[in-house]
Amino acid sequence: MRRLLLTSAAVIGLVVLMLGTSFANAQGSAQKDSPQKESPPDVPDAIQASAGEEVVLFAHASGFQIFTCQAGAAGRFSWTLKAPEAELHDRNDKVIGQHFAGPTWKLKDGSEVTGKLGAQVDSLDADSIPWLLVKAESHAGKGLLTSVTTIQRVHTKGGKPPADGCDAAHHDAETKSNYTADYYFYAPPK
């Protein structure tokens, strides 16, 4: 009798374990099939996306801000932004695209968006480039970026030009400053 009870308890335990595993696998599969929506970042009013737009993509950029040494109107030399050069990563650190001159963002799905500065605010880190609100100006290809209307650059680290080294002797010289930032891409709801 005791042996029968132990065998029954073992069978019941095994059935409960198998059911639990099946439930956990089903939950994981459901989460993969319906990705969570991104929440917009907490930003100052000046760089808020328009009401009615929703985040369609988050990308973390790592790369460079490229500057050239140029003479200004008064003949004073300073570092001038030439272009960004960065890889775009998803939340799992997988490379999903590139960010380059324009400013332009291009994904591996073939879609791209080019924008124009709408507004900016100082970064929370004084040694970092500003946070931006960029309005889409043109699109190319087919994919996720073709419906994007607004881009935010936030959570910047680095990217500022050097404090010195730009003078008449270094006219047209280039320098690269390492930076990282988070980009949020918005579009009207579907």
Model pLDDT, residue 37? 82
Are residues 15 and 108 located together in one domain of the fold? no
Are residues 25 and 50 located together in one domain of the fold? no
Element (H or E) spanning 151, and its range? strand 150-158
Distance of alpha carbon 88 from the chain centroid: 6
Model pLDDT, residue 35? 53
Are residues 52 and 117 located together in one domain of the fold? yes
- Assess if residue 12 is contained within a domain: yes
Written as six digits, the tokens of 154 are 């936030």
* Amino acid symbol at 128: S
Q: Residues 9-57: pLDDT tens digits? A: 444 444 434 444 444 444 444 334 335 688 999 999 999 999 999 999 9
Are residues 7 and 98 located together in one domain of the fold? no
Peptide bond into 103 cis (omega under 30): yes
pTM: 0.80
Instruction: Give the residues of the chain that fall short of pLDDT 70.
Output: 1-36
Q: Which residues pair with 79 in a beta bridge?
A: 69
Q: Which DSSP category does 146 fall into?
A: G
Are residues 20 and 53 located together in one domain of the fold? no
Tell me which residue range forms the domain holding 82.
45-187
- Assess if residue 79 is contained within a domain: yes
Are residues 17 and 54 located together in one domain of the fold? no
* Number of domains comprising the chain: 2
Are residues 28 and 51 located together in one domain of the fold? no
> Does residue 132 contact residue 47 with C-beta atoms inside 8 Å?
yes
- Assess if residue 57 is contained within a domain: yes
Are residues 51 and 116 located together in one domain of the fold? yes
Within 10 angstroms of residue 133's Cβ, the number of other Cβ atoms is 23
Are residues 71 and 14 located together in one domain of the fold? no
- Assess if residue 29 is contained within a domain: yes
Q: Name which of 86, 113, 111 is nearest 100 in CA terms.
A: 86
Are residues 57 and 22 located together in one domain of the fold? no
